[in-house]
Amino acid sequence: MKIDLLDVEEVSKTLYIRALKVLPPDIKRGFDELVRSETNPTGQAVLQTMIKNITVAEDTDNLLCQDTGIPIYNVTIGREIEYDGYGLKQAIRAGCARATREYPLRSSVVHTLTRANEHTSCGQGIPVIHIDFSDESEKLVIEMIPKGSGSENNSWLKMALPSEGINAIKSFVIDCVLEAGGKTCPPTIVGVGIGGTADLCVHLAKQAATRALGTHADDAQVAQLESALSAAVNQLGVGAQGLGGDSTAFAVHVESAATHITMNPVAVNMQCHSARRATATFTPAGVHYGF
């Protein structure tokens, strides 16, 4: 199957707008679960206000949050897809810029030194575009994630000692959640990366933070760590918007990689309660949008 780059551009534009305006169903279910378990009256009131804000935004066709974020596109390419790799990335970039200009959206992207804003949500290295491959034959998937600065500013990396083992991971995650407090607009998804190199570890934490609720790590031991950390984080009392209660996080997600015998890296990256994402799947039958 050959991919039309004009279609990629149009889909990339649509995905950015869609991600900013429609909250994925798994996050809405996550809110429902937190409401059922929240015992703090203030926490209950804050959660209900968040849910109402989401409903009003979707009913009035408005953005879920004013922060349009750093645009991230994750592309997964099947084995029998014909494509121009350079052209694919340029088409995504063009679609991102069109969404910002034509919708229009606030551009949150600036030059890192001069702070100049091109008003396209694009710049050097932005949008972030990750390319991966799958064993599915005629399928190409583009996932769009607008990552807000409130969550992205709460990111950490620690090159722990191997002798510190799993306890170093647990204590570091707890310390990071406490340090973030209400700055990440909790309830959050706490993404944890373990293993790999320093840069891979941070990337794994981002993958974990943007994973759908209800999914679990493939590795059984890592999945156990997710469960233990999820329970521990919601005993800290940070609560929704940092105002106290049981609802500090929807979940803690962990992604892992093998690492060197002398290393024990751990990274944390958070996602705010407006955990926005959208996907489009190209197949011979057409393009299907989802989350």
Domain boundaries, the chain: 5-20+64-147+275-290, 150-271
Residue 241 has a pLDDT of 97
Q: How far is CA 186 from CA 37, 47, 276, in A?
A: 15, 10, 14
Percent of the chain with pLDDT over 90: 100
Helix (H, G, I), strand (E, B) or coil at 24: coil
C-alpha closest to that of 254 among 177, 193, 171, 184? 193
* Amino acid 83: pLDDT: 92
Listing DSSP states for 176-212 in one string gives HHHHHTTTT-SSEEEEEEESS-HHHHHHHHHHHHTSP
Return the number of other C-beta atoms located less than 10 Å from residue 32's C-beta. Answer: 11
Number of residues assigned to the chain: 291
Contact predicate 148/272, CB 8 Å: yes
Per-residue pLDDT at 229: 98
Is the full-model pTM beyond 0.85?
Answer: yes
Given a contact cutoff of 8 angstroms between Cβ atoms, the answer to whether 146 and 20 are in contact is yes
16: which strand partners? Answer: none
Q: Under DSSP, is residue 126 helix (H, G, I), strand (E, B) or coil?
A: strand
How many angstroms separate the CA atoms of 161 and 271, rounded?
27
Q: What is the reported pLDDT for 120?
A: 97
Instruction: Count CB neighbours of 36 within 10 A.
Output: 7
Q: Outline where 110-189 has alpha helix (H).
A: 149-152, 165-180
Helix (H, G, I), strand (E, B) or coil at 236: coil
The whole-angstrom separation of Cα 46 and Cα 242 is 10
Helix (H, G, I), strand (E, B) or coil at 104: coil
The reported pLDDT for the residue numbered 283 is 97
Residue 184 makes CB contacts below 8 A (sequence gap 6+) with 150, 151, 154, 270, 272
Per the structure block, which two tokens stand in for 59? 């009913």
Task: Enumerate residue ranges in the chain where pLDDT < 50.
Answer: none
Q: Residues 201-236: pLDDT tens digits?
A: 999 999 999 999 999 999 999 999 999 999 999 999
Helix, strand or coil for residue 281? strand
| Confidence (pLDDT) at 173 | 98
Helix or strand run (H / E) with residue 229: helix 220-233
Place of tokens 């790590």: 217
Cα 75 from Cα 10, distance rounded (Å): 15
Three-class secondary structure of residue 246 per DSSP: coil
Instruction: Name the burial class of residue 172, with classes exposed (0-12), middle (13-18) and buried (19+) by CB atoms within 10 angstroms of its CB.
Output: buried
Q: What is the pLDDT of residue 215?
A: 97
Parallel/antiparallel/unpaired status of strands 188-194 and 249-256: parallel
